[in-house]
Structure 1
Amino acid sequence: MKFAWVAAVLLVGSLQLSQAWDGAIVYFGLAAFAGFLALLLKRLVPAGLAGLAVMVLAMAGGFFAARGASPDRDPTWVLLDTVPRLLTAARPAPATPELLVPGLLLIIGVSTVTVLSVTKRGTALFVPALGAAVLYVSAALLTTGRADRYGLVALLLVVLLALGWLIIDRRGPVVPPAVLATALAALTLLTIVLPTNGFEPRKLVTPPVTDVAIANPLPQLAAWAAQGETELFRMRGPEVPVRLVTLSRYSGASWEAASTYGPLGVVDPPDLPTGGKFQDASADLRITGLEGEWLPGVGKPQAVSLSDAMVDPDTGSLVVAEGVRAGLSYTVRGVVETPADADLASASVPADATRYTALPRLPFTLAEYARQATQNARTPYEKAVALEQVVRLNRRPDAEAPVGSSYARLETFLFGDAGESGAGAGTAEQFASAYAVLARAVGLPTRVVVGFQPVPEENGERIVRAADATAWPEVYFTGWGWVAFDPVSGNGSGPSAASKREVLNRLASTTAKPTPTSLASVPPLVQPTAVAPDAVAAPPTPQGFPFWVLTPLLLLVALYAARTARRVRLRGAGPVGAWHEVLDSLQLAGLRPRPSRTVPDIGREWGEAGQRLAAVVDQAAFAPAPHPGPPENSWRLARQVKKAVRRKASWWRKVVWAVDPRPLFRR
């Protein structure tokens, strides 16, 4: 019975945690029973050694499962790196080996400790309750409270624990059930309140450090924004955006840089050709504070003065073998595509650019939002302009917004409720990513560029600082190349403001309010006196009932269950248990006798029932031989004494009589 109860508690907690992953229920359900392997090993070796053996096997399996993401790293680094990988993945996280490892190891550890603990006397209730709390809190933090919106799983765990206290006969010193119930209720409240107040565990970790082939520099934008006036590099040349790295692959969790680099002039041509209209640009740059592998450049690089510079032919991203360092000076020459507004108005997009339109497992909400936003656009260019306006409306730049470009982060950015962390607010990462994903959803080839805005000259030089870092999306038009858009302000490089205004005016005059769907409606396109930032209020979203207010009720239920469990145990202890029930009543009424008083002395104060119960207790304790007369019903006598005691209690003590936790602490 004891092990069945433990298995039920672990299974509920593990299935709750599995909601932070997509399709991981089976894995987590099996992991809940890993502790029983330690129970089998305990027959051969001591319990501590059995638990250690299970955890070593689990960590070894976790290393072999996750090392594919970091094949050249040592086991400790690989296992530790799975945590930031998980915290920077999509929500729910894909069920890939390296993302499953942290959750599975947590469950296996909790299961092993819990199962081994119940084999010892005095800890049967403490460790399972603690393990359930750990799994529940982990699930709440990984899903920001969404795994148990209404507190039903928390209530189920409390009921399971209460049943354990009622059924399992505890012996020896244990942590009082009231303490466990209070701790579980407090943790439940904590894990519901923290997410609603903007707590985001992803802020506590640095995004995983990976090889340049799959690195994502977008989260660095928030760090650069915090550094503000820190100087990164200086340049001489035209006032054009400086490109650092172009991201073209999107996994649903993040953007990824290119994986193939080669020397300029000996690499294959790009998968999408350069546009028909462009101009040459050349710049001299000197690194002063920038670090990393990528080399800043202008346009699509054609030549670099550094012998070890490598380029990705498709995106034009530059890297240097030894990394960028302070004092590095070089000249880069590139071409900047300059299509005219009239060229873009009638341009098409390639039908076979699957690399730039891929959206693995695109959520319906994002696809429908993009469809509504562009339903009256006639050409790819009009779709691109309409999406730039829609992404910008009702949303604001915020340098302190949560980082990330996963589907879950973009849904929060676009549709999140007021007060939710990251709702309607983001850095250039969220604006650019939201635009690129929505544009791909309607067939436009897109990519995201991380770079720096053009800055004015100071004494013949342009000083680029950390605050100038940004990101912008680009759309590819057949024959004209990649064209930049600016969903943050609408005034960046690319098509002219007059061209965009003309498109938005036409769309605003023909676009009706979208048909309501399960997602927040797309804001109707307003008549733009321009493409400047708008301050249109988002439509109010109805708020659900705050179920966390039921937490005090859960606490009262837990205390009542603990008190009931104590009465059941005392009733099974015969006359001595009945006398302890009387002592509990005296404590509840504020009449607790001094420890020096004897049982008969106390019993005489409560009439005939008290005296008879005291005699029965004395006989049971000191002369357990059979009584010659009919046996006294000690529990019936105890109830009579309890009624007399309760009548002398104050009214407020009677109100809290059934849930007062003080008897739980009395030995």
Structure 2
Amino acid sequence: MNNSLLKYGWVTAVLVVGALQLSQAWDGATLYFGLAALAGFAALPLKRIVPAGLAALAVMVLALTGGFFLARGASPDRDPTWVLLDTVPRLLTAARPAPATPELLVPGLLLIIGVSTGMVLSVTKRGTALFVPALGAATLYVSAALLTTGRADRSGLVALTLVVVLALGWLIIDRRGPVVPPAVLATTLAALTLLAFVLPANGFEPRKLVTPPVTNIAISNPLPQLAAWAAQGETELFRMRGPEVPVRLVTLSRYSGASWEAASRYGPLGVVDAPDLPIGGKFQDASVDLRITGLRGEWLPGVGKPQAVSLSDAMVDPDTGSLVVADGLKAGLNYTVRGVVETPADTDLAEAQVPAAATKYTALPRLPFTLAEYARQATQNARTPYEKAVALEQVVRLNRRPDAEAPVGSSYARLETFLFGAAGESGAGAGTAEQFASAYAVLARAVGLPTRVVVGFQPVPEQNGERIVRAADATAWPEVYFSGWGWVAFDPVSGNGSGPSAASKREVLNRLASTTAKPAPTSLASVPPLVQPTAVRDDRAAVPQAPKGFPYWAFTPVLVLAGLFVARTSRRVRLRAAGPVGAWHEVLDSLQLAGLQPLPSRTVPDVAGEWGEAGARLAVLVDQAAFAPEPVQHENSWRLARQVKKAVRRKASWWRKVVWAIDPRPLFRR
């Protein structure tokens, strides 16, 4: 009896150590795995009724049935076998550590229950007391090492503990029957431990055996919604508990020149693919609990670069960390997000550089020259990328005001109005966080800084341990990537957001005194040339190049003069077709060109009589055309008008004769 208790106690110790090691592959699953480690003892009463093999089968059938009911919520319309088999690829494509959701817990729980049942039943037999528990412990340990890529036991203390516990069992428990010598056992476990470390270190990753599901989701850009949220004011969107860090809704990295675009391909959190730009060298972990109350849409609020989320159906864009839920948010949804927040020091950023190959974050299709030149002027005295970033933050904020009712949009045209618009023009010098963040990101890209725009919420004061995030808390801010330090937030709206300290920015601005003044946008007589995105590599790319070849702009005056001549000629053709009345208007045009325009009160005969017999005869024809009961055709009215016109032209000054054919004044005479 005492020997049996020692055996069961020994097996329990081995199972608990192995289960706790395996539980590290999940987030918050220690209790579940600890209980599963004891499930094998349920086979003992069954063994008194049926053979050990049937007792083990009964326990596993019950475990598989329970696993099916736990996991079928993820695939309610599939058969039990498919549902259980699908839990393995789901686990291998989930976050690391995986959230403790039912469908993701099933593979680990079934593994522990199987190992536990085998170990408990084995010690009831003579001769297998040492071998089966050692095999079970090695299975749990190697599984944990592979699922966590060796991170579950970095120092090897758990492996040493298992070896000691197994060795004590060999020494204390009755050794009748075939046993494994301690040297062989130690060598085997050491080999398994080495295997568990070597495989992940050499690139072996069990997740690569499964193709992670990637979903194409067409989700609109939420930037224009900032104005609507501002109008909703105190409307509650969600509640949160945790550290005071900005809550991120979506990160936008692609800019088309017309708007910012979100990523369209999302996969399970924790997929093998790494982000295109690595996380910085200094960061802190942040975990927040959120409860959705009024927020709608597919975007899932999170913090930093998400590392784990308690929702099994959440997907992520690995490059930006934006989280989505394909079925949309629902009121009452509770979840936990754990993320990494980059925290570089001011001294780290002072001399930091930016990656040269981050074209995705510097692309500016068909950038207008005005924006490129404005960015160049704003940063012309800056020595480092950090100084450029600080200078642009000050320039975008200077003499511009937040306005919740300003026109939405982040196109080149909207940004030019926001930056350069004349007083009184709609949206000039005023905008929501959309325009401030977009203008900063575009100008920064124009001088070679990798940027993106984040839509999110700033933390609000805590109330009873819980923060209430309202619609008015929604905002947007730009981020700049610095090599070795990651993404750093800037605040062109107020300059007081998270990111570099105010003292650091003030020191930079004091040195760059000239950048605090508003740069003058370049005013051009015609449409400015466009800077191609491949040309925006450094400051020199923003400088306009001298035109090459023949200066076609020199033809502009000629085209204007030709246009006026054609317009005047067209008017004379219409007047000639109008008979005597048209001929008289031709005379009036001549008087206007000669500076002899008569007073409106004078009659036709009175004015025409001053220009000889031709004028008097033309006046008679005009009266007949105007007052005769029937239309009268006079073929010689235009000839008489030309005679009067020659007489009038002789009275004109020389300079009026020079511009006679192109003077535009007759075009505006009624």
Shorter-chain TM-score bucket reads 0.3 to 0.5
Q: Which has the higher contact order (CA 8 A, sep 6+)?
A: 1
When the two structures are superposed, what TM-score results if normalisation uses the length of structure 2? Answer: 0.47
When the two structures are superposed, what TM-score results if normalisation uses the length of structure 1? Answer: 0.48
Larger radius of gyration: 2
